[in-house]
Structure 1
Amino acid sequence: MNAALATSTLQVRKAALSQTRWHTGAPVPLAPGQVRLGIESFAFTANNVTYAAFGDAMHYWQFFPTGDEAWGCIPVWGFSVVTESLCEGLAVGEKFYGYYPMGSELVMQPVRVTPAGFFDGAVHRQALPVVYNQYMRCSTDPFYDAATEDVQSLLRPLFITSFLIDDFLADNDFFGGGTTLLLSSASSKTAYGTAFPLARRKGLEVVGLTSPGNTAFCEGLGCYSRVLAYDALDSIAADTPCIYVDFAGSAALRQRIHGRFGQLRYNCSIGGTHVDELAAKGGSRDLPGPRPVLFFAPAQVKKRVADWGAEAFGRQLAQAWQNFTRKVTGAEPPWLIPERHAGRAPLEAVYREVLAGKGDPRTGHILQP
């Protein structure tokens, strides 16, 4: 095997996410109609930890199968360049934004190739949500800006989820009067991306719940009505009509919120940034109040495309994205500072840091395999 041409992918043990290994092999020859993409860079955030935590329940492990049921490949968002093509309409050197494995390359079977991009037509992905199978051609993508490529990798997939959470709650009239919204893991990018549009709606109190070490960061964002450390939850009146937007996935916190708030209108379960405390591992049993409902962003995309049409949905999303990124990059200090890491050891170090929920919330990790 030529080491210079070897492919490498970081895999994690599904039952013990702290265990990792590198899988290295020779590049697979392309079949007619296929394309090889060299992965240039990708973001790794708490959102990717959620993909791993819910890998079985939400089928995230199925996107990039490893051939070994005990080991999985966590999907990430980033950029790649075509290095070899046997597919008409896709030329060597073109750059694409999309969903990739944590590795050096991806071979795909493009279908529905247009000036905007293509979809991966691989058999194992056909039953998976289409939103994850689309690859955007950077030369025509209205979201793409070479100057803010890292910010796009870090925030674009998260903000789409944030945009849809805000829209879903409003679309359901905040479940009959839940005018106080409790957002856990408030320093996470998806949480403050959700707080940003919610803060623009009248009559809502958006409360950020976070660890004591992140309260100052969250307060400085200016998109939360108030910020509370987790141990200060009792400062909110028990009879407050509220909605819990659960980004943390902590079973203990979920129990406390359901036990305290008799007028909890809805529990919108988003992710699992607190992997060791995941409510999915039994913490949702025998809860008073409403049953926690896992939010599935592709379902809201499907609904809104049906309601508004694909073009109108795209325009609203693009406008919201522009408003958000202007705030993120234009604030002083910036809400997000990308930090690049290249090579196996730095990549693994970032993975373990994010998995453990550590690090500066203002730092966004961009990895180069």
Structure 2
Amino acid sequence: MTERLAATPAGITTAARILREGGLVAFGTETVYGLGGDATQPAAVARIFEAKNRPRFNPLISHFASADAAFTQVQACPLAQKLAAAFWPGPLTLVLPRAPGSTVSDLAADGLSSLAVRVPHGEAVLALLRAVGRPVAAPSANRSGRISPSDASHVLEELTGRIDAVLDTGPCAVGLESTVLDLTDPDRPCLLRPGGVPVEALETLCGPIARPETEADAAPLSPGRMLSHYAPSLPVRLNATSVGPREGLLAFGPAPLPGAAVTWNLSPTGSLEEAAARLFSGLRFLDSQQPTFDLTGLAVQPIPPQGLGLAIQDRLNRAAAPRPAEPDLP
């Protein structure tokens, strides 16, 4: 049975004990809920993959209570230190060469010579990480390829009975995953995944940031790069200019398209920050309305391609991507 823990000193102490003993605890950050396991224990990391049905070639982000703690596990260049000072705690993940004495398991890093690290924002999650005192690997707390959770109830919908506990820290403020920046070559910073920190903000400190030429170029280094990802069960149609009577509408702005069976507006005022925070909840809500309205698919109004809009588009492109074939069951 999965225990729901309050974000109190007692709840945090219990969650830290479970993690140190090799259990799994989901917890809220400013981005989404993460499914945490002790990154130094390969068995705990394996449990994360098992609970999520996650592809094993996708490395995990290790979470820390401070930049100093994170930089004991990686070789931090001056640019990494500058970015950490500006954006940590916050929704930025840095991919850096692993330190020779790194204690993060090879399974968490997928055997790579690099490691993805970040310091999340939030009093409760930082208190939890301090209490654990070890790197905590934490992908999003959902089954692999499904909609990422921005509330404790979302975690329980998918992972009850598969994990030990959820530390309920309330709704996530940002609502989509961290930006992932590859600094393994500090002279050529490379964006592996857009996210909660806009690229424009990073470029004020980094200068121009490169992009991988293909998905395959990014996939080995970065979490969240599977093509069909964040997918509801219904097919998703992007950049819709009209909507059918059996479609659910993911709207944006003050003028939702008429004619949808059911509508979720990411932001009636056109705020990209509000849209990001409501994205996964909206996809989850519309997907849940399929039996009520006999929906055949979801239509998505255009999202502006700047700032957080780039990250929102990235998630929606993955939600709309062709789905991999289901494996045959034994």
Asked if Structure 1 and Structure 2 have the same fold, meaning a TM-score greater than 0.5 normalized by the shorter chain, the answer is: no
TM-score by length of 2: 0.27
Q: Which has the higher contact order (CA 8 A, sep 6+)?
A: 2
More strand by share: 1
More helix by share: 1
Q: Which has the larger radius of gyration?
A: 1
TM-score by length of 1: 0.25
